[in-house]
Amino acid sequence: MACSFKTGFSVSGSCDCFFNNTNKGFSVRSSVGALNITALTPNEFLGKSLDVPNQIGLSHWNVKTPKPVSINAQASICVSKAQRWWEKTLKPNMLEIHSAKELVDSLLNAGDKLVIIDFYSPGCGGCRTLHPKICQLADSNPDAIFLKVNYEELKAMCHALRIHVLPFFRFYRGAEGKLCSFSCTNATIKKFKDALGKYGTDRCSLGPAKGLDESELLALASIGQLSRNQSLDYPKKDRLENFVLSGVDLSSNFDNNLGLKESNELLMA
C-alpha cells in the first residue's frame, strides 16, 4: 500500500493507517518507518486532501529511520576448463608429444615395448570418432605406449615424416624399428586391432631401440626440428656423421630424395 499526500511526500511499501484517539492524530506505519500526524481529527482527513505548506507544519512529522541491516554474503566462482575431445578418457600409457626431439627420445627410451604413434588433428572428424576406441585399446594393452601427435601443433614434423592422411598410425618396437604404418577409421578399426594382435606379443629385441629411420632423422634435422649435434647422438651415428661433416646441404637432399612438398594436401577421414 502507498499513502500519498499533497505535499509531495509519499510512503511506499506495506503500511498501516489508523487514527490515534488519544491525541486526535493520524499515524502511518510502514516497512520503511513510521509517520505521525498530530492535531488532526478524522473528519478533517476522511474524503479531503491534506494540505501542509512546505514552510509550516514540518514539526508535526516524526520520521523514524529504519535500523541499518547488515548482510554478509559470500560468493565463490568456480571456472573449470572444459576438456577438448582429444584430452578426454586418456589412459596412463597415452602420452602427448610436443616436439620432434620428444618423439625421438620417447621411441629410443621405450626399450622392447611396443610403441604406437597416433597422428591426429583437432579438426578431423574421423580422428574424433576413433579416439574413444583407441583409448579403450590403450587401456586393454597397458604394456604398449601410445604417443599422440597433434598434426596442427607439429605440422612441419608431420610433413617431414610424410604424414598426409589422418588419422594415421605407426607401430615401432625396439631394435626392429618401424613395424607397420597405416590409416584407419572407425569403420576399419579391425586393421588396428589386427596390427595390435600381431605386434603386441612380447618379444626379445637384440640391441638398442632403433626409433625413426635414418632418412627421417635427416629430414627433421634439415628443417631445424633436430639440431645437428642431437642427430649425432641417435643410432647409426657414423653414417649420420658422414652427412653432417661432409657439408651436404641436408635441406636440398631432403627435398630431392624424399620429395617433401608443402603443397601436398592433408587427407582427413
Task: Give the catalytic positions in this structure.
Answer: 124, 127
Which DSSP string corresponds to 10-74? EE-SSEEEEEETTTTEEEEEETTEEEEE-S--HHHHTTS-----TTSSGGG--PPPPPP------
* Residues in contact with 135: Cβ distance below 8 Å, sequence separation at least 6, in sequence order: 89, 90, 91, 94
Cβ distance 90 to 135 under 8 Å? yes
Identify how many contiguous H helices and E strands the chain contains and give both numbers.
9, 12
Which three cell numbers mark 199? 605386434
* Residues in contact with 172: Cβ distance below 8 Å, sequence separation at least 6, in sequence order: 107, 110, 114, 115, 116, 117, 178, 179, 209, 210, 211
Q: What is the bridge-based pairing of β-strands 33-37 and 25-30?
A: antiparallel
Q: How far is CA 56 from its chain centroid?
A: 70
Cα–Cα dist 72/67, whole Å: 16
Which three cell numbers mark 233? 647422438
Cα–Cα dist 211/115, whole Å: 9
